[in-house]
Amino acid sequence: MTTVDLKLYQVGTFAAGNRLLPLEDRTVQAHPDRSNSITSGHRACQGCGEVLGARYVLDAAMRATGGDLVAVNATGCLEVFSTPYPESSWQLPWLHSLFGNAPAVASGVAAALRATGRGHTRVVGQAGDGGTVDIGFGALSGMFERNDDVLFVCYDNEGYMNTGVQRSGATPGGARTANTKAIGPEPGNAFGQGKNMPRIAMAHEIPYVATATVADLHDLERKVEKAMTFHGARYLHVLVPCPLGWGSASKDTILLARLAQRSGIFPVFESEGGEVTAVTPIRRRVPVEDYLRPQRRYSHLFGAHPRPDVVARIQAGADRSIARYGLLADSSEK
């Protein structure tokens, strides 16, 4: 009689039930005393990567600081869906000021805490990609340059989602948005250098920079906890798929985040003092097409008038980043 070994769980896969992991490997969310920093009742879309990312980031930061945390939020989806009048989802002290000033506001909070002997209370600033790489860029660079004691988190959904999906400086080439429609000879967003915020952060030589996705929440939590062991300016850039803006199925948020990493489109790495210290290797590489196809924002590349040239260009970008970070270094599929 043939027998099949039944694997109830595998550590390191994404299929694992959290409950089956050893205690120390479980996420903050598995603990009954988790802080629920952003609690139920918010109005995020079904499958929103941003709220998932924010929940894990803040609960991990709360655990790392023993709940001694203040959050500063830029205008954007996260701010709007978390505070539908007269409710608030926030279970930690939370301040929203403007779209473009979250890093400076966070610096001000940190300065006030330091000046009054409350430096033990830590500060997290958070914004979407627009609030980070575009309108808040100067303030963020100032915060980095002064090395203020703030962890700044960018939830990157690659566009201005809150205002109806317009392009940002983090929108990838070829992607359709409300103001880069799939019309004209070059449909979708123009290809440029983009704004590679993690690298720009590294150029400031701040103590810690990391990227992560919502596909690997353990990794995300670990990076938040690590970030909290440093003082000074820290930057965490989290890829958070947006079903509404990307034209993807709500159930595919995690899948898309994973494909972004495995295609090389979104390199996952850590850096200290401006040097890359660790990368998450690509375990099973996929062509960018696998990542692009499920998203309607790229559908014009595959429809009646396919644009293999554009897909090839996106692939070339992914190849470049795989080479730059050595993402296949530990793999046989070089």
Partner 1 sequence: MPGQRLSQIEGSVAVAQAVARCRPSVIAAYPISPQTHIVEGLSDLVRGGELIDCEYLMAESEFGAMSACIGASAAGVRTYTATSSQGLLFMAEALFNASGLGLPIVMTVANRAIGAPINIWNDHSDSMSMRDSGWIQLYAESNQAAVDLHVQAFALAERLSVPVMVCMDGFVLTHAVEEVELPEQEQVDAFLPRFVPQQLLDPKEPVSIGAMVGPEAFTEVKYLMHAKQVQALDEIPRLAADFEEMFGRPGGGLVAPYRTDDAETVVVTLGSALGSVEEVVDELREDGVRIGALGITCFRPWPLDEVRAALAGASRVIVVEKAFAVGAGGIVGQNVRLALSGLPATVYDVVAGLGGRPITRASLRGLFRDVLEDRMDSRSLHFLDLDVELVERELARTRLGGTGPHAEHMLRALVGVGAVPPGPEAPVGEES
Ligand X SMILES: Cc1ncc(C[n+]2csc(CCOP(=O)(O)OP(=O)(O)O)c2C)c(N)n1
Q: Is 76 in the site for ligand X (CB under 6 A)?
A: yes
Token pair 């890359």: residue = 276
Closest to partner 1 by CB, 12 or 138: 138
**Interaction of residue 142 with partner 1, rule CB under 8 A:** yes
Angle 296-298-303 from CA coordinates, rounded to 5°: 85
Q: For residue 82, state whether it binds ligand X (rule: CB under 6 A).
A: no
Q: Tell me the CA distances in angstroms from 84 to 41, 44, 154, one per residue in order.
A: 9, 10, 22
Q: Phi, psi (5° rounding) for residue 106?
A: -65, -40
| Interface mask toward ligand X for 127-166; x: CB under 6 A | xxxxx-------------------------x-xxxxx---
Binders of Mg ion among 72-131, rule CB under 5 A?
128-129
Separation CA 245–CA 167 (nearest Å): 10
Location of structure tokens 């940190």? 110
Q: Which is nearer to ligand X, 92 or 161 (CB)?
A: 161
Minimum CB–partner distance for residue 328 and partner 1 (Å): 39
Given the rule CB under 6 A, which of 55-63, 196-204, 226-234, 236-244 is the region that contacts ligand SF4? 236-244
CB of 322 to partner 1, least distance (A): 35
Phi, psi of 73 (to 5 degrees): -120, 135
Q: With CB under 6 A, what is the number of residues at the site for ligand X? A: 19
Footprint of partner 1 (CB under 8 A): 67-70, 72-73, 79-80, 83-86, 88, 90-98, 100-101, 104-116, 121, 138-139, 141-142, 145-146, 148
